[in-house]
Structures are given as C-alpha cells and as structure tokens.
Structure 1
Amino acid sequence: MKEFFTIGEMSKLFHVKIATLRYYDEIGLLKPQYTNEQNNYRYYSTQQFERLNSIKYLRTLGVPINRMLDFYNYREIDTLVEMLKKKQNEINGKKRELEEIERKISRRLTQIEDAVTTPLDTIFEVKIPEWRVAYLRREYVLGDDIEYPISELSTNHGIDGEIFLGKIGISISVPDLKSNKFDRYSSIFMVLEDEDQFATSERTFPSRNCLQIRFKGTHMDSSRYYRKLFAYMNEHNYELTGDSIEITLIDYGITNDRDKYVTEIVLPYTHR
C-alpha cells in the first residue's frame, strides 16, 4: 500500500487546492511529513489523512484558522469541545435570524397577495388589530419628498435597513380631515412586527372599527377616496374618532408599472 503522497496527489484525493495545502504548510497547520533529500520533494503520509479530514470538517463549520492552530498545538479535548460549542451557539443564532427573516418574507407575501386580490374602490367595515408602530410627528405636504421623513423616522428609532419589509404609513389629523384638507399629513409611522424590538419608544395603535378602502394609485390620488369615505360615513351616521391611516401597499419598491400601485386608507369610526 502506498504510504507517501505528493501535494498534487493530496489535492486530488481530498479536493483541496494546492495553494490551500501550501498555505497550511506555511502556517504550520499541516506540514508534509517527509522530505526527499535528493530532489527536495515533500510528501504527506497516510497518517495525515485524518488530520486533513478534520481540518476540512472544521473549515466547513466555519471555524477560523487561528482557533484550529490553537487546537492542534495543544490537542486538548476541552479545547475542541469549547470550540465546537462556540460554533454551535453561532449557528443557533444564525438559525434564529433566518427564521425571523422567513417570517417577515411570509408576511410580506401575504400582504402583497391581499393587496392584489382585494376589490378596489370598495368600502369595507373592518376591525383592525392592535398595531405596534415606530411613530414620528412630522408634517408632510403632498408632493414633497417622503424619503427624508422616512429616513428621519428610521434614525430616531434606531431602525436599520433590514426592517424594509415592514409597512410605511402616513396620517392626516382629525382637524384637517374634518376641514377637508387631504393634502397635508401630520405624522409618519412604520408598522412593527413581533420580531422588531427597539430601545427607543414606540406607540400602539389600538384595535378599532374602521372604514377601509383600497384604490389604484398613490397618496397623490387619495383625495377623492377620502371624500368617498366621508360620504359613506355621513350616510351611515358614523363619526370619525381618530387620525387617518394611509399606506401604499404596492408602489415603486415592488413594480415599475404604475397601473399596479395600490394604496389603502383607513378611517376609525364610531356610531353617533
């Protein structure tokens, strides 16, 4: 049985690049066992197969080179156990992160499907659930760049870009709504999900009875739908009880086709 192998043979046997084996030799992680004095060729022995397999295994787990060097230099069981437990904790942390992302994506897909399939230009009487929101009292006039207040909202609440799957909304105050001023917004908010936890303060929108309407377009097209909601409210002897909630469900962030944009307006109400 062959006992010694060249670096090229080791590379083919273990599917490890020659440059990687040379690097392991250079740093002392895996040095060839035998050197031919006549031609200065260096050879690995079969006794080193297990070590190279272990190195490959630890690299697959993402264990850093310096930690592998520590282990092989001291060869203690406790060192290996500690190294593997630390890696296990890192993997569990990544699993939790991926599970949170998966839940966010699932919710977003449900929201998109709901926005695409719900009838437009139709008023529904709904009860919205309680929402946790990151909230910013900031006047926004229709036509202004909304990205700046969104950025300010994110900065104030310590929200990073990973929250982008959440819903952004704006509100018109009760006095402006009752005065038929539908082009000036009093606040901007971001709907938070179960996984979203921030050190800064947040606000709760309570569960309420609301009138809901969805239409093709953006905030720029909302005025006529506010009028339609108020006409329905007067017809049914309802009274406005809070600021509006206006959310663009499908916009340029999802599609370039403006004909597919969908915006939702929600008005809380009570019976007079």
Structure 2
Amino acid sequence: MKERLSIGEFARLRNITTETLRHYDRIGLLKPIEVDVKTGYRYYSILQEEKLGTIKELRQLGMSIDEIQMYFDNRNLKQSMNILKDKHCKLKNRIKELRHLEESISEKIEHLEEISQVTNFEEIVIKEIKERGIISFDKQINNEIDLRYEFLELENILKEVSPIVGSNRIGLIIKPENLKLNEYNESVVLFLFIKDKENIDEKYIRRIPKGIYACMYYSGDIWDIENYLRKMFKYIEKENYSICGDILQIIQIDISVTDQIEESLVEIQVPIKKH
C-alpha cells in the first residue's frame, strides 16, 4: 500500500477520468501534492481520497463546481448542513416538477392514442358533457394573426409544465347566430381549458355549463368550419332540437404534433335542447 499515486491510479480509485482530475487542478478544487517539473506528471496522496469522494458525491447531488468550492471553504458542520438542506429543497422541487411533467406526458399520450382512433369523421353524435373550466380574455379574434397573439397571452397565464403540446386544450367560442364564416369576426373568442385554477386570476376563469351537445369531428383547418356547421344546423332542426348556447370548436390534434393537414382533427360541440 503506497501513499503517493499517479494521476491514473488516483482516478481509478473513484472511477473518474484523468481529465476530470486535471480540470479540478486547473480550477483549484483538488490540486495534486506534487507535479514533476520535468515531465509535468501529477501525483496525489491516498489521503486526498476522502475529498475526491466527497466531490464526486456532491456532483451526483447536482451541485455545481462553484457550490462545491463553497462547500469546502471553511468546511464546518453548520455550513455543510445548510448547503445540503438548500440542495435538498431544490431537489424536492425538481422532483415535483418532473412528477408533474410525467403526468402531463402520460395524459398527452393517452389523449393522442384515443383520439387517433377516431374514424367517424363528419358523423354527428349526441354527447352528455360535464361542466368545464376555461380561461379567456373574451377578445374578438378576426384572423390567424389575432389568434396567435391571443394564444401567447393565454398560455402565459398557465403555471404548468408543458401545458399545450399534444393536448386538446385550445378552443374557439362561436356565437350560434352567425352562419357564414366571414361573419365570425365579431363573435369568435379563443379559450384554453384549465386543469387546475391554482395561480390563475379568477377574472379570467369561465365555466362552460354541463349539458347535451351535438358533436362532430372533421379533419382540416379551424377556419374551414362553415359547411360542417351548416350540416349540424340542419341535423339539429330535423331532430327537433334547438341551440341553447355558444358553439365550441375544440382542436383535438394540432400543429404541435403534426404538419400534415390531413392528420389535424377538430371537434365541433353545439349545445342543444329539445323544443
């Protein structure tokens, strides 16, 4: 057993690279006990093994080099505990974020797998739908440019991890009295469904009432809705229903997951009641 070790021997003790040790030397975090002036070879003492092991563990905890330098400056019990407590708190917050992210991704996959099985395009189906919460600024949307700016403002309200990509939370509210696409300009309002109203200003929260809805899926652009609405209005009249609220246009599959227009999917939901 020897005290003096070459850089390779010392690196193998903790299964790290010699370049990592050279880096620690350059920044002053862990310097060798001796450097041969002729060859430049670095030599370490087995007594430095504890510090190297501590550095490796602190790196595993996610501490930066600067944080590790601070850890070793005037190292004492109180300072070490405070640093570890701070790192623990940050780690718990990160774990919470990752848990929320995992849940979000799981929900997205479940939604996309389910919605991708839809084959009854343009078929009108009657659904009973529960109350839903949305956020909206109630601003009029006149074109795609308005929609993009409004969407950015609404998304910034959400305090969630990855709230939109692969989800079905974006929608438009259309006033039923307008039958032609070029007459929607003063009636179309963008909204986002909410999962958790925590940290969302109550003044932006709206409620879509529960009820019976005539629903239809179609593939295409959100603005290409006129003919589909006309078909639904004829069905509603024929079946002796009347429209009893605002029409919802929900984007089930959008450009966040596909650039293929034929893969996009929009659902129209029209609230109805019997005459």
Give your verdict on TM over 0.5.
yes
Choose from 147, 150, 172 the match for 1:149: 147
- In structure 1, the residue matched to 2:170 is 168
- Write the distance in 1 (CA, Å) between the matches of 2:266 and 2:42: 70
Partner of 2:196: 194
| 1:132 maps onto 2:133 in alignment | yes
- Asked whether the 8 Å contact 1:11–1:18 carries over to 2, the reply is yes
CA distance in 1 between partners of 2:85 and 2:252 (Å): 44
Which residue pairs with 1:227 in the alignment? Answer: 230
SS in structure 1 at match of 2:245: coil
Counterpart residue number, 2:63? 63
SS of the residue aligned with 2:231?
A: helix
Partner Cα separation in structure 1 for residue 227 and residue 147 of structure 2:
25
State the alpha-carbon separation in 2 of the partners of residues 192 and 139 from structure 1: 20
Question: 1:255 matched to which residue of 2?
Answer: 258
Q: Given the superposition, is the C-alpha separation of residues 205 and 154 from structure 1 closer, same or farther in structure 2, using an over 3 Å criterion? A: farther
Alignment of 1:106 with 2:106, yes or no, is yes
Change (3 A) 1:227 1:37: closer
Structure 1 pair 264/39, CA: closer, same or farther in 2 (3 Å)? closer
**TM-score of the two chains, using structure 2 as the length reference:** 0.83
Where do 5+ consecutive residues of structure 1 fail to align?
none
Runs ≥4 residues deviating over 4 A: 34-42
Distance 2:267 2:40 in 1: 77
Structure 2 residue matching 1:214: 3-state secondary structure:
strand
Indicate the SS of the match to 2:149: helix
* Distance of 2:222 and 2:5 partners within structure 1: 71
Task: Give how far 1:254 is off.
Answer: 2.2
Q: What secondary structure does 2:43 align onto?
A: strand
SS at match of 1:255: coil
What percent identity do the matched residue pairs reach? 28
Distance in 2 of aligned mates of 1:249 and 1:24? 52
Q: TM-score, normalising length from structure 1?
A: 0.84
The one-letter amino acid paired with 1:239 is S
Q: How well do the aligned residues superpose, as a CA RMSD in angstroms? A: 2.8
User: How far does residue 205 in structure 1 lie from its aligned partner after superposition?
Assistant: 1.8
Contact 1:250 1:263 in 2 (8 A): yes
Give the structure 2 partner of residue 96 of structure 1.
Answer: 96
> Higher mean Cα deviation, 212-221 or 15-24?
15-24
